[in-house]
Amino acid sequence: MANVVLTPAAQEQMNRLPGGMLRRINDVFFRLEKWPEVSGAKPMRKELVGHFRIRSGAWRVLFRVKGETVIVWQIDNRRDVYDN
């Protein structure tokens, strides 16, 4: 089982989520604990090679894997997530 860790920026983004979305994102974290047997995780391309994204509705969770640790570095709406 993988250990899911949030960066400070991801934690701040999570703190601003509406209640219903917060529940759905927590479900994503439970799924990520089973890395690499996670359905729906897609590898990213170009300058983000080595990172992954998983979606929940219109929201995206961006993460990378380092050993047995899944590091979530961004949680945002799909219209804003790739702008940063």
The domain over range 3-77 is classified in CATH as 3.30.2310.20: yes
How far apart CA 44 and CA 51 sit, in angstroms, is 6
pTM of the model: 0.91
How far apart CA 21 and CA 6 sit, in angstroms, is 17
Our CA angle for 16, 55, 62, nearest 5°, is: 70
For the chain, what is the radius of gyration of the CA atoms? 12
Token output for 59:
């929201």
What secondary structure letter does DSSP report for 78?
T
pLDDT grade, residue 79 (50/70/90)? confident
Query: Per residue in 23-56, pLDDT tens?
Result: 999 999 999 999 999 999 999 999 999 999 999 9
- Contact predicate 60/54, CB 8 Å: yes
Any idea where the domains of the chain sit in the sequence? 3-77
